[in-house]
Amino acid sequence: MSRGYKLDLTLISTLVERWRPKTYTFYLPCNECTITLEDVSLQIGLSVDGPAITGSTIVPGKVGLYKSLLGKVPDKFEGGRILMNWLKDNFNELPEDLEDRTEERGDLGQKPDIIIVSNLISIDVLRDCQRETSKRKGVQREEKRREMVGPVRPQFVLFGSSIVQLSFSNGGWGAILADVYARKADILLRGYFGWNSRRAIQVLDHVFPKDASTQPELIITYFGGNDSMGAHPSGLGPHVPLPEYIENMKQIVNYLKGLSDSTRLIFLTSPPVNEERVNKYASEHFSHLVRTNELCQTYADACVKLCQELDVKVVNLFTAFQQRENWMTDCFTDGVHLSAEGSKIVVAEILKVLKEAEWKPSLHWKSMPTEFAEDSPYDIVGADGKTTLNPSEWTFHQEIQWD
């Protein structure tokens, strides 16, 4: 059997899905279908009575058999098999008079409620096979796409509101991390301008699906700046009451912890703001915005306390910024969003946490392997004219030599 038949896993999978063990039938869109001994006798020319036989058998009159069962005869025969391509070309569309034509073939022993295996099962199974094959090809294309960008690197995801979305702009902290971790990890941006913790929990399973084939090694999360804004009289706007903010952040922590045992978390608190600049340069398109350092500190302290209770790494940006001289003028572009100088503070604090964390494996950039770091005769030739210089660990281009 193994020499004469090809095992079609897609076909088998499709038939299994359509089999109903309680009724011993295949459930097809047109009706139910089963295979009887009489079908076997008619289609392969074997008697259902008498002693069992083994070995090869020749079915006489294949032309008549094909014509009676399928209404068409293949151009060529390959033993007793029907080529799927031939079925696809000839039976891709069901004829409109199919029910009438099947009822007319009463001489084949067909009954009103049970249809003998013929062109009906061939067509329906073929369609299911096509869908299954298309699905598999889609998965294969996705796998091929991933292979095209080389080996899978560790993934660091930046998740949060505008402080995250803008982190690749104006010398932002996301861009700096991407540079520091070049050839070590992929920095993925999942930032959403204007969002609060309330909106974040609504999309957790979309941004971080638990059934994903790979999970991030590190997720850096920031929510709080918009939550801490003063409440608007209309009830609209990003403000989230402090108790709800704490509960939302707790829900985010627990969800992200459940992604995998190897996923590490760092949370960032709300930084301070330049209140004078916020009020002075408020846009005419906005209603009055209430942003105060008193509110920022309250929400920052709540975030720190929650993370300590849940054993999660946290960076207190509210205090870190204020340790720098002239922070109010140097660290913001508009009094709220970060300038390049403000982003450097964020990077320094994150790298400090990564260096001190006792995670195995370490996620600090100096401890992580570099992709394709082996020496090569194609590297730049050194001053001695005999050896090459491996540039895979060079950092001289960086404005700051990060620790």
- Residue 14 banded pLDDT, cuts 50, 70, 90: confident
Q: Return the pLDDT at 25.
A: 84
Q: How many CB atoms lie within 10 A of CB 393?
A: 9
Mean per-residue pLDDT for 23-47?
A: 75
Mean predicted lDDT score pLDDT of the chain: 83
Q: How confident is the model at residue 79 (pLDDT cuts 50, 70, 90)?
A: low
- pLDDT surpasses 50 at 381: yes
**Taking each helix axis from N to C terminus, what angle separates 173-180 and 340-356, rounded to the nearest 10 degrees?**
50
pLDDT for position 114:
36
Q: Give 147's pLDDT tier (boundaries 50, 70, 90).
A: low
pLDDT in tens, 89-110: 777 766 665 555 544 444 444 4
- Does the pLDDT of residue 82 top 50, yes or no? yes
pLDDT of residue 118: 42
> What percent of the chain clears pLDDT 90, i.e. is strictly above it?
55
Concatenate the DSSP letters of all residues of 235-272 into one string: S-SS---HHHHHHHHHHHHHHHHTS-TT-EEEEEPPP-
Select the highest-mean-pLDDT range: 14-28, 50-64, 264-278, 282-296.
264-278
Residues whose CB falls within 8 Å of the CB of residue 205, separated by 6 or more in sequence, listed in order:
255
Is residue 18 a contact partner of residue 27, using CB atoms and an 8 Å limit? yes
Percent pLDDT > 70 in the chain is: 75
Average pLDDT score over residue span 306-332: 96
Give the single-character DSSP code of 78.
B
Task: Give mean pLDDT, residues 327-331.
Answer: 95
* pLDDT tens, residue by residue, 165-221: 999 998 999 999 999 999 999 999 999 999 999 999 999 999 999 988 899 999 999
Distance separating alpha carbons of residues 392 and 388, to the nearest angstrom: 12
CB 160 within 8 A of CB 221: yes
Which active-site residues does the annotation give?
A: 161, 334, 337
Residue pair 264/359 in contact by the 8 Å Cβ criterion: yes
**143 or 119, which is more confident:** 143
Residue 242: its pLDDT value, please? 97
Nearest to 264 by CA among 178, 347, 354, 344: 354
Domains present along the chain, CATH in parentheses: 9-143 (no CATH), 152-356 (3.40.50.1110)
